[in-house]
Amino acid sequence: MGKRTDDFFTEKRSWSFIKDEVLGSYMEPYMAKIVTRGQPILIIDGYAGPGIFQDGKLGSPMIICQAAEKCAKGKYQALFINKNKQQHHALTSLLSKKQLSPSAKSVLDDTTTRLPHIYDSLQNESVLLYLDPFGLTGCKFSLLQPFLTRNPQHSTEILLTMNMPGMHRLAAKDAVGKGQKNKQRIQSFHQTLTDVLGGEYWQEIMWQDGATSDQKDKKLIEAYRAKLAQYMPYVGSCPVREKTNRQIKYFIVFASRHPDTVKLLNDSMLKAYWSGLHTADYPNSLWGYEDLLNSVGLEEIIVETVKSNEGKTRDAIWLEIIKENFMKYLHKNYRAKVQRLVDEGRLCSPTPRKTKSLNDDCALYLPSEESASPIPML
């Protein structure tokens, strides 16, 4: 790490608020749920930093520890890895001051070499791997693959960030267009991208003509998610921008085997993204970020999803919807729309219940003559 990473921790940038809001909103429910498994919990923060910014804002180690201490005190281990000695010593001092040892440990090492050894030492731990490197080489696919292929009887969650401007620099489209593709430096750039993304599929996307940076970024991360989905069924991503009209700086990407993760992060990422942009775009606004959200098209999506999945519960239908429409709609708006569709007779739910209000276990159907009878009450 050089001077730029030291400067990064002077104050929290606007885009860092989005990343840390996602991490913070995810950690507490994750810890509360994972502790019920009764297995040891291991949290790995591969690029931890000093734990706190110079302006007093919390960094990822403190965000993680706050949730872990609240929900699983004495039942977790957190490893915070830094290659930078100054940041390592600052974090070591902070963890000691906050009396977080021995549960939280500051480690001076290179994550790219330490992570394979950590994996080799795993037994039955529930693992959360969080990687937020300054550049791209800190999250090569070969580092992730052992965790992606880990025995599914053990819980493994992966949350990482992808630096998108770095992708464009390494793709070197202009140099390729000038016939410099075979130069050693350009080949080195391209090999790095291949190593990070786990294949050469990026070339067709990043070298295409007529597409904007945003379009390429979204298509590339979509392809990367498809790569991750070969190993874990629930994947998603959230763009991170400085402002609405600025280029995407990062994508926060996750991979999980548990449906609760995608349901939780759908709302967490949607709220963090629009809240962060609203604060950056309108710092003195009197109206809230939720005014930017809408449910346009949601009723039609619900009806079509039920049509293809009749008899599934309200909760299962929601999972099907967000798998195809991740980070588009809030769960509370989905519940309200389903209730309205049932009240209006456009959907029906014969599941016995005490009131007309639906719950997550209510089965949903398209209306038919058989379902036109009154809903049975208990």
Looking at the structure, tell me whether residues 250 and 304 fall in a common domain: no
Query: 182 in a domain, yes or no?
Result: yes
Looking at the structure, tell me whether residues 364 and 252 fall in a common domain: no
Looking at the structure, tell me whether residues 107 and 209 fall in a common domain: yes
Looking at the structure, tell me whether residues 85 and 230 fall in a common domain: yes
Give the per-residue pLDDT at 3.
39
Give the per-residue pLDDT at 282.
57
Query: 286 in a domain, yes or no?
Result: no
Q: What average pLDDT does this structure show over 199-217?
A: 96
Query: 46 in a domain, yes or no?
Result: yes
Looking at the structure, tell me whether residues 241 and 212 fall in a common domain: yes
Query: 288 in a domain, yes or no?
Result: no
Give the per-residue pLDDT at 130.
98
Looking at the structure, tell me whether residues 209 and 313 fall in a common domain: no
Looking at the structure, tell me whether residues 205 and 242 fall in a common domain: yes
CA gap 33, 27 in Å, rounded: 10
Looking at the structure, tell me whether residues 226 and 313 fall in a common domain: no
Query: 352 in a domain, yes or no?
Result: yes
Query: 378 in a domain, yes or no?
Result: no
Looking at the structure, tell me whether residues 262 and 146 fall in a common domain: yes
Which of 255, 281, 307 terminates a domain? The answer is 281
Neighbour tally for 200: CB within 10 Å: 11
Domain that holds residue 31: 3-281
Which of 231, 253, 281 terminates a domain? The answer is 281
Query: 377 in a domain, yes or no?
Result: no
Query: 155 in a domain, yes or no?
Result: yes
Q: Does the pLDDT of residue 369 top 60, yes or no?
A: no
317-350 pLDDT, tens digit per residue, is 999 999 999 999 999 999 999 999 999 999 999 9
pTM of the entire predicted model: 0.90
30-50 pLDDT, tens digit per residue, is 999 999 999 999 999 999 999
Give the per-residue pLDDT at 230.
97
- Looking at 160-164, 210-214, 277-281, which range is the least confident one? 277-281
Which of 261, 281, 301 terminates a domain? The answer is 281
The mean predicted confidence, pLDDT, of the chain is 90
Looking at the structure, tell me whether residues 46 and 165 fall in a common domain: yes
Looking at the structure, tell me whether residues 96 and 139 fall in a common domain: yes
Looking at the structure, tell me whether residues 230 and 362 fall in a common domain: no
CATH number at residue 321: 1.10.10.10
Count of domains observed in the chain: 2
Give the per-residue pLDDT at 246.
84
CATH number at residue 275: 3.40.50.150
